[in-house]
A and B are shown apart, each in its own frame.
Chain A
Amino acid sequence: MNKKSKVIIGLLAIAVVLFCAIQFWIIPANRAKETEYARSRTDALTHDISVIETYRTPYIGNASNTGGLFEVLPLNHISKKFEINSDNCTLTVNYLDTVWNIGEEKVQRDLVYNSVAAMAAIDNLTGITYNFSGNSYSFTRKQIENVFGTPLSNLLKQENWSEEVQNKLKDMDFVGQFFK
């Protein structure tokens, strides 16, 4: 076996090891992390609130900002349309699905979560209405502030958010008070 053949065998062994490590270990691990992160973004209890920082605004009028905000909040995988009422600073989100399809418990928890997050991010948002096929839920700023305190923007630090919002939302009795 000449020197070149030995170099070929050595390089081939390195290439095969590298390829297998990347293809069967590193890439699947990265994909699992991405899937986990994507899953966490659709769950109120594991959602990373820091992602809404870029959507903070004093006024509700900016439709693309509002659309962007709801794209990084739970229920972002459901198709939806927005109506903004600039006169009384309210927002209507029309989800193109049914509560039954998504799951009632998840919908209730995620809607409370999204309402707190949207009102904390948009300072003059006074109320939100969520419409599903056959169901409708409304939240006012006063109702949210009575439970979570004022100003809501104080909650946006991750440690406050986990303690004051996500931990409380684990309790379905707590969530249920918004749907009585």
Chain B
Amino acid sequence: MIEIKEYVDGLFRHQRLTPEVKDLKEEILSNMLAKRDDLIAQGLDADSATEKAKESLPAIDYLIDGNQLTDIGKYHMECAQTLLLNSILFWIFSMPLLFTGYALFSYMALALVALSGCTCLWRKNRNTGGFVFLSVTAGKRRKKIAWLVWTLFFLVAAGTMAALTFGSDIWFGRPLTISGPYQLANIAVRFYLPLLTIIIPITFSNFSKILQKCGKEQENE
């Protein structure tokens, strides 16, 4: 019994234990135990019956709701391309920072383009194929978390900048004054910088869409 329980635990090692998954796990465990008992009743010894019961279910990925048979090579290649595309967009939109004291961010974006370009080429030459089960639900969850974290980050960063820039004037009831285009640009860049990081949740959203696109059903269509 302990050996079969450990085996079933191993099958569910990478799964998030939602109530549905827990039910499924219990159901599989009871089915396997029943199968083992049945085989023993038919005259097999306990070890062979346990092995046979384990062999009857080598994987459970296809049983989990939200899992999808995915073309892994295509999925990784498209993800690498999307990462490169978004890095280039990030680089383009960071170029105005070259005129400010935040030029380092633009150079970092350039480094990111080089890095994601290399990843893309490496993926292209690797040519890995085959189908594996990937969780669409987990992809959607990652996307949701990425947007949530980014929204919180942006609100905190923009709020802090606003407080540092205008807090004193607001506190003392003085009118907000922006004396010229240079000062306006100086203020704008403080908000533009955290806004640029929106490329991170966008990339996660793209990955989630790609995952759905690379499913075997989609492939057959």
Which residues does A use to contact B, with CB under 8 Å?
Answer: 4-5, 7-8, 11-12, 14-15, 18-19, 22-23, 27, 30
Contacts and interface: CB of A to CB of B under 8 A. Distances in A.
B24 interface: no
B98 A15 contact: no
B55 to A, nearest CB: 42
A7 B85 contact: yes
B199 to A, nearest CB: 13
B81 A19 contact: no
Given A15-B92, A18-B92, A22-B98, A8 B113 contact: no
A7 to B, nearest CB: 7
Given A11-B88, A11-B89, A14-B92, A27 B99 contact: yes
A22 B92 CA distance: 11
B204 interface: no
Contacts of A12: 88, 113
Interface in B82-119: 82, 84-85, 88-89, 91-92, 95, 98-99, 110, 113
A19 B95 contact: yes
A63 B72 CA distance: 74
Contacts of B82: 4
Most B CB within 10 A of own CB, among A7, A15, A23: A15
A1 B110 CA distance: 24
Given A8-B88, A18-B92, A23 B81 contact: no
Contacts of A5: 81
B85 A18 contact: no
Interface string B66-89: 000000000000100110110011
Q: What does DSSP make chain B's interface, helix, strand, loop or mixed? A: helix
Contacts, number: 34
A87 to B, nearest CB: 38
A8 B84 contact: yes
B110 A19 contact: yes
A19 B96 CA distance: 10
A8 B98 contact: no
Contacts of A30: 99
14 contacts: A4-B82, A5-B81, A8-B88, A11-B88, A12-B113, A15-B92, A15-B95, A15-B113, A18-B92, A18-B95, A19-B91, A19-B95, A22-B98, A27-B98
A14 to B, nearest CB: 7
B76 to A, nearest CB: 14
Contacts of B85: 4, 7-8, 11
A11 B99 contact: no
A4 B99 CA distance: 31
What 8 pairs across the A-B complex have the smallest Cβ distances? A11-B88, A15-B92, A4-B81, A22-B98, A8-B85, A15-B91, A15-B88, A12-B88
A22 B95 contact: yes
A11 B98 contact: no
Contacts of B98: 22-23, 27
A8 B81 contact: yes
A40 B78 CA distance: 56
A15 B91 CA distance: 7
Contacts of A19: 91, 95, 110
